[in-house]
Structure 1
Amino acid sequence: YEDTTGPLIIDFLRELGFTVDAPVVVPDGEPVGAAITAAVEGGARVVLTTGGTGLTPTDRTPEVTRALLEAEIPGIAEAIRAYGVAQGVPTAVLSRGLAGVVGSCVVVNLPGSRGGVKDGLAVLRPVLVHAAEQVVGSDH
């Protein structure tokens, strides 16, 4: 299927000064965990996933992400949901996306819709660089 959110995320990360590879598109479930692990092992400072955060039986991204997290950053995930609700999207509360740290990498699960991704990026814009710096021991 066509990846409509990857290009948004790539542009966003580049605007913040991150060096970004092409988006990696994988099926939900264990392939997401494998892709996160590969990115972290490859030196990624930030990994943003999209989709697989809802309530359907195939939505497994939070479960595979949780298994990898060394520390959660609950405020990010909570803020993304709250932002969506504030934008008039009551179903944003149904997202089970997580945020946390794997190694020296900040990992955030974003919703799969373009609107959900845009909301998530709006929340991340003022904090993501600082979070990535803190994870490697630099505060500013």
Structure 2
Amino acid sequence: MSGHGDPEPHAGAAEHGRSGTRGGTGRRAVVIVASTSAAAGRSVDGTGPVIRDWLVERGFTCAEPVVVADGAPVGEALRAAIEAGQEVVVTTGGTGVSPSDTTPEQTAPLLDVQLPGIVEELRRRGTTHTPTALLTRGCAGFAGAAFVVNLPGSPGGVRDGLAVLDPVLDHLLEQRAGGTRH
């Protein structure tokens, strides 16, 4: 994985963003990295900064990724983000089948509305690159007004996940907020 020293976003990137439903004002997002080794300082996460930069380019205010150990700390970070009023919460890591991969189990109980099609499409796209994409077990949906999605911890899984989200994210948020655009 690449280094964690991501550059500062371009001035004004968070304010200008894409022509979304809210024009970038008040749009808040957080990235949670589920990695026991990165949380302990034994490895460097390369996926969180990629997701953060993607969100900033789309007009979200997004601090540096929150890095936590796998398991219960992921659930704690998710609850904190939702309670803080984040509009989008993206996790990376912990979606595989190893015993410590429990991000989906930490996420699912928090969701009021499940969006399985997002993860289905992520797996479908991923299998064009590697058959192991079938092993991702992430969740996507809404916890109140917050859109929450679990992406794999691999650069390829993140690339595929962001490609899936790109054409639908603004519409999802608008629809959840009561918008009527079709």
SS at match of 2:68: coil
TM-score (norm 2): 0.74
Deviating beyond 6 angstroms after TM superposition, the runs of 4 or more aligned structure 1 residues are: none
Question: Which is higher, the Rg of structure 1 or of structure 2?
Answer: 2
Residue 137 of structure 1: how far off its partner (Å): 1.6
Distance in 1 of aligned mates of 2:70 and 2:120: 22
Q: Superposition pairs for residues 72-91 of structure 1, below 5 Å?
A: 72-86=114-128, 88-91=129-132
Distance in 1 of aligned mates of 2:79 and 2:157: 24
Counterpart amino acid of residue 114 in structure 1: P
Residue 28 of structure 1: how far off its partner (Å): 1.1
Greater RCO structure (CA 8 Å; 6+ sep): 1
Could you give the per-residue CA deviations for residues 56-114 of structure 1, whole angstroms, max 9, x where no partner exists?
A: 1110000010111111001101011111012x211101000110110101100000011
Distance in 1 of aligned mates of 2:87 and 2:100: 28
Aligned counterpart for 2:151 among listed residues 90, 105, 110: 110
1:45 aligned partner: 87
Residue 139 of structure 1: how far off its partner (Å): 3.6
SS at match of 2:141: strand
SS at match of 2:91: strand
The structure with the greater share of residues assigned to helix is 1
Query: Is 1:16 aligned to 2:54, yes or no?
Result: no
2:168 aligned partner: 127
Counterpart amino acid of residue 107 in structure 2: T
Distance in 2 of aligned mates of 1:50 and 1:17: 20
CA RMSD between the two structures: 1.0
Aligned counterpart for 1:101 among listed residues 124, 142, 147: 142
Distance in 2 of aligned mates of 1:83 and 1:96: 14
Q: Is the 8 A contact 1:130 1:139 kept in 2?
A: no
Gaps spanning 5+ residues in structure 1: where? none
1:69 aligned partner: 111
1:56 aligned partner: 98
